[in-house]
Amino acid sequence: MKNHLIVALKFTLITTLLFGLLYPLAVTGLSQLLFPKQANGSLIEKNGQILGSRLIGQAFASDKYFHSRPSAAGTGYDPTSSSGSNLGPTNQQLVDRVKLDVAKLQQENPGVAIPADLVTASGSGLDPDISPAAAEFQIPRIARARGISAETLQPLVARHTQQRQWGILGEARVNVLELNLDLDASFPAKQ
């Protein structure tokens, strides 16, 4: 019995060191060596200041910017609280929120079909992307707010539209943070 206990303790100690310390250090070291940008969160920097991550959505409330899809993560886009809302399609709280979002979007762009991703949260609540249709839906509002024509914004959206990965995985998408940064660089907002 004593020998079995000693073997079990040794096994526990060795596996803890191997898989709890050495393996994570090796994977971290390799990722820093081979993929440093991705390993550090795919951060977007400008003038030495971190503006955000390509991988985590952000809330944009101003009419001068493209808006992300709704977030159910904490108080909104909280990476420490990543999750969906867990509200079912018949839950009154979800129905009321979607109705409010739809009403606001209908005022913004009357008579135009609202893309679903502008009123539904992603499973993680942190999705940094919207569909090209969701970006195009927002063009008239942004053009009015910035005092430019809607036609001048369409090439900007097209430039930021990423197609399916390898032509088969996922859907076409637009990264909202990258789009808004290019929007500010190309068409600075008037105060």
3-state helix, strand, coil in the chain (%, to 5): 50, 10, 40
Q: Are 71 and 126 in contact (CB under 8 A)?
A: yes
DSSP bridge partners of 46 = 49
pTM check: above 0.85: no
Q: At what angle do helices 150-160 and 176-186 cross, to 10 degrees?
A: 140
Q: What are the pLDDT digits (tens) for 67-104?
A: 988 887 767 777 777 777 777 788 888 888 888 888 89
What does the alpha-carbon distance between residue 92 and residue 105 come to, in Å, rounded to a whole number?
A: 20
Same-domain status, 106 and 171:
yes
pLDDT-based confidence at 42, cuts 50/70/90?
Answer: confident
Residues ≥6 apart with Cβ < 8 Å to 13:
none
Which domain does 11 fall in, by range? 1-40
Same-domain status, 70 and 35:
no
What Rg, from alpha-carbon coordinates, does the chain have?
22
What does the alpha-carbon distance between residue 25 and residue 80 come to, in Å, rounded to a whole number?
A: 23
Q: What are the pLDDT digits (tens) for 93-134?
A: 888 888 888 889 888 888 888 898 888 887 777 788 899 999
Look at the chain and report how many structural domains it folds into.
2
What does the alpha-carbon distance between residue 8 and residue 12 come to, in Å, rounded to a whole number?
A: 6
159-163 long-range contacts, CB within 8 A, separation 24+: 160/135, 161/132, 161/135, 162/129
What does the alpha-carbon distance between residue 111 and residue 88 come to, in Å, rounded to a whole number?
A: 28
Same-domain status, 60 and 31:
no
pLDDT of residue 15: 95
Residue 144 belongs to a domain: yes
Q: What are the pLDDT digits (tens) for 159-183?
A: 999 898 898 898 989 999 899 988 8
Residue 191 belongs to a domain: no
Same-domain status, 68 and 11:
no
Helix/strand/coil for 169: strand
